[in-house]
Structure 1
């Protein structure tokens, strides 16, 4: 049970990290 939760969390973080970095990159390059 716990192993599956950890694997799911890993998958989610793996998918979210690029999106988050991309979001931060756009925020950093584009001025408000």
Structure 2
């Protein structure tokens, strides 16, 4: 299963929890 974040493949920093919810570490949140 591949999760795409902002059109880019999610790395180990992205956690997939139940309910298909994707959480991204604050470090990846480009301001």
Same fold (TM over 0.5): no
Higher helix share: 1
Higher strand share: 2
TM-score range, shorter chain: under 0.3
Larger radius of gyration: 1
TM-score, length-scaled by structure 2: 0.16
Q: Larger relative contact order (C-alpha < 8 A, sep ≥ 6)?
A: 2
TM-score, length-scaled by structure 1: 0.16
